[in-house]
Structure 1
Amino acid sequence: MTDTPIVIIGAGLAGLTAARTIQAAGIKPIVLEASDRLGGRIDSLRAEDGQPLADLGPSWVWPPFQPAVPRWLDALAVESFDQYDAGDAILDGFEDTPIRQPLPGQYGMARLVGGPSALVKAMAAGLSDGVVQTQSPVSAVRLQNDGSLRIEGDNGLALSADRVILAVPLRLAAERIILPDALPDRLREELKKTPTWMAAQAKAVVRYERPFWRERGLSGRIASRQGPLFEAHDHTSARGDAALFGFVGTPVGHRDPALLEQAILAQLERCLGPEGGRPVELRVKDWAKDEWICSEADRTGPQAHPNVGSERLRSGHLDHRLWFCAAETAAQSPGLIEGALLAGEAAGHAASAGLRRDAAGDQQ
């Protein structure tokens, strides 16, 4: 006798998508999240009233090329708007002084009203009460004699489930969770070798009173050879909160917060003039310091975008009782927002279908 039919480990976008998919099939899952918030790699800088001002994690979707995105946006009533790209860019470090010139457009790139956090909020809002349990880290998933799976946590957590979906970064699953011995060695090696997209990245959000660069015919794009931001983009919200964001090129282990902020402000002043160095707020989110996102392998190894992994990552294991559904498992857009949606859908459908087959067999 199990405590629950399906346990999902991880309440990032993939895990929440799996939970919504399973609930739509008439099954109530349990979602265990290690941290005190939902969203995983999705997070927002918020105003005092709680409204999201800027994205600290992923920002972009490409609706013309990612069919799962508009489908889920429609289902969740989340709107998108085009990434601002009108005007010249700034090339920094290519000559003695910054160069102003056009760059190729970014057709199809869009942002979400309320940021990707709006997706997380809408996903979670559609789940039944008690489905998601935060601050519930999992330390082991064990195969029991009857074929069910036992989920254990350091805080005394102990559950038995018919199906388990691991919706956590694959390398974290390999490093931090004791997995059943019966899993094949090739799968374990693939978990270890699959990079977690942007896990060790630091992202800077810089807020201003107004988007002054637009007034000067600039797009807000910066491409730099000297950094510390190797690229930056307009990040003004749909409601007009003026901002830029940039990806930090400083290696992990050399990101002294005070020195990094000073260097970012100096770069923005160099590229955009005095106003660039006088923001109303500068926030750097260093994902490499997040223990529930960044594995040791991601922190110490080279950063790389995950390729489409083998079918082992999308297949059921242990007689189709254990599934993986991090964004990196997706066969399309691995590591991206669409990848998380597709991975969550696929694992949710597979796990719930397996339960229905079991139930049908018991009735015969």
Structure 2
Amino acid sequence: MIDTAIVGAGVCGLELAARLQALGASFTVFEARDRIGGRVLTKPAASGGALDLGPTWFWPDTEPRIARRLDELGLASFPQHDSGTVLKLDDPNKAAEPAEYSGVHGGARRIVGGSVRLVEALAARLPAGSIEFGSQIVSVVDHGDHVELGIRAGGIDRSVSAKRVVFALPPRLVAQDVSFSPALPEALAASLAATRTWMADQAKAVVEYPTAFWRDAGQSGNAFVSHAQVMLHEIFDACDADASTAALGGFVALPPEVRTAIRAGLSLLVSSQMVQVFGVAADSEKLNYQDWSTERFTASEADKASFNDGPPVYGDAMLRRAWWDGRLHFGGTESASYGAGHMEGALEAAARILRALPAARPATSTGAAMTDERPAAFTEFATWVTIQRASAPERYKKLLHQLMSTQQSEQLLQRAVLGAVEQVYSEALARLEETDLGNVTGMVVQGKSSLTPLALGAFAGFSKAMLDAAIAFNRTSCAMSNFPDEAKPQADYIDVIVRDLAAAWREFAMAVNELLLSKTGAKDHAPG
């Protein structure tokens, strides 16, 4: 019997597998494709460089988990080229004009050699044979003490047993492709079906050139096109670290069904658009193209119909709970408490699941119960929290700037505040996980550890202070004056944010309690 069955060899699944391997725990990864990476897809350029057709960027200022992981793996990164003029094209019969803004990607960085280097480095840490390719999970049956997985591989169906299963997949794919027995609770099933898959309705084009001519002209490579015949609505510099591989990338503005209909002429249309924006030097037939809506194991049927529905909404706590008494977990970047949709979110989801697995828990402590004296570990933790609280408003500002730099204009206050708070919570859980509690076990009454208030006490008033600081900043920020609803939020908008923060706090408090129970192995005591 498999201890942990991981479904999906993308960033989340491989990160979880690598962490379990480091703990000496057993697992098997089931991947429906014949490659690792999931939505991470890097293709070699004609010049020998790397071209990312999937996830490309990370933001170290607001995404600390991936920055740390790259350091641990010895992977280098370089800044996204953003310096120079940004262009805009509103009329197909006129030349592109300079835009009024700069620094489009807000401090983003890219991995040297492409994002595939991350998944390759994670997979290299796994034992041979631990990934089963071409294996699609189509059913899960809960037997009470284990689960039975139905697997379809090469047209042949078989089943395997596992103590638990982790779906490191887009939630909508799980909802569409996997049957569960017993049926999942209605609210969970609805959440899986409603959670849009990041990138699933999008297509990305990257065009290669002999040189980065736009840089020589003082241009950033960033451009935004909005006329009626638009092919690429957003264009960016896709060169490698030293521009020895010169390329421009862009996101296709057409819906999936139209992209499919014009696929034969796509190269010419993309080249024409590049020439419109950057001049005749941008004429090239070296097109690298990836339409994620045609990827069977990325896009669900519901995702194909979601094009231009606006930014996806993530953060449903239903997807972050353990189900079937810990035998069923959901991961993938869409389930993350922050960084959802990015590689950061995939790593955050893997860390959350790892904390919930028995393989990650230490042996039961035989130490003494806690006395009235505050354990030194919690004093140190409280000091760490104080430092994070002081820097949290700066996190908010960076997240806000990141949202604005990507031309997003809705729910800025809500998304940046919640993102900053959940980022601190996630790092706090990681800090507690690494904290040595010595022989302190505490007492447990009705499932609550007496140590939990010691950990949570350091956060008293944190979310309110964060919201107050964010509102104060928005009211005095010149940049926010262009967004009156964000600069001077109304009471009903603030109420929505308060409810979101309260939900995030409840989830964090429960996670802290579960973590402390697993670390100490303390036994429940009836009140009385």
Which residue matches 2:8?
A: 10
Pick from 298, 305, 329: which aligns with 1:293? 298
Judged with a 3 Å threshold, the aligned counterparts in structure 2 of structure 1 residues 273 and 117 are, in CA distance, closer, same or farther, namely same
Work out the number of aligned pairs and report it: 355
Listed one character per residue, the Cα deviations across residues 33-81 of structure 1 (whole Å, up to 9, x for unaligned) are 00000000000111479x6520010101000111101111111111111
Cα distance in 2 for partners of 1:352, 1:222 equals 49
Give 1:233's aligned residue. 236
- Structure 1 Cα separation of the partners of residues 6 and 265 of structure 2: 40
1:24 corresponds in structure 2 to: 22
Deviations 1:80-137 (A, max 9, x none): 1111011112211258412134523133211110111110100100111111111111
Instruction: Tell whether 2:136 aligns with 1:137.
Output: yes
Alignment-derived partner of residue 146 in structure 2: 148
After superposing the two structures, state which structure 1 stretch, 264-273 or 179-188, moved more: 179-188
- For residue 243 of structure 1, the aligned residue among 244, 247, 253 is 247
Instruction: Output aligned runs, 1:20-169, within 5 Å.
Output: 20-47=18-45, 53-93=50-90, 96-97=93-94, 98-105=96-103, 106-144=105-143, 146-154=144-152, 155-169=156-170
Q: Which has the higher contact order (CA 8 A, sep 6+)?
A: 1
Which of 304, 307, 324 aligns to 2:330? It is: 324
The answer on whether the counterparts of 2:87 and 2:224 sit within 8 Å (CA) in structure 1 is yes
Structure 1 segment 186-265 matched on structure 2, within 5 A = 186-226=187-227, 227-239=230-242, 240-255=244-259, 256-265=262-271
Structure 1 length-normalised TM:
0.92
- Distance in 1 between the 2:282 and 2:245 partners? 16
Larger-gyration structure (1/2): 2
Q: CA deviation at 1:138?
A: 1.0
Aligned partner of 2:357 in structure 1 is: 351
Q: Structure 1's 306 and 32: CA in aligned 2 closer, same or farther, altered over 3 A?
A: same
Task: Report % sequence identity.
Answer: 35
Distance in 1 between residues matched to 2:132 and 2:46, nearest whole Å: 26
The 3-state SS of whatever aligns with 1:14 is: helix
Partners in 2 of 1:76 and 1:94 — Cα distance? Answer: 47
Which string of whole-angstrom CA distances, capped at 9 and with x for unpartnered residues, describes residues 2-29 of structure 1?
Answer: x110000000111101111222222021
Q: CA RMSD in A?
A: 2.0
CA contact (8 A) 1:321 1:351 kept: no
Q: Could you state the TM-score of these two structures normalised by the residue count of structure 2? A: 0.64
Q: How much does 1:183 deviate? A: 2.4
1:250 alignment partner AA? L
Distance 1:93 1:259 in 2: 23
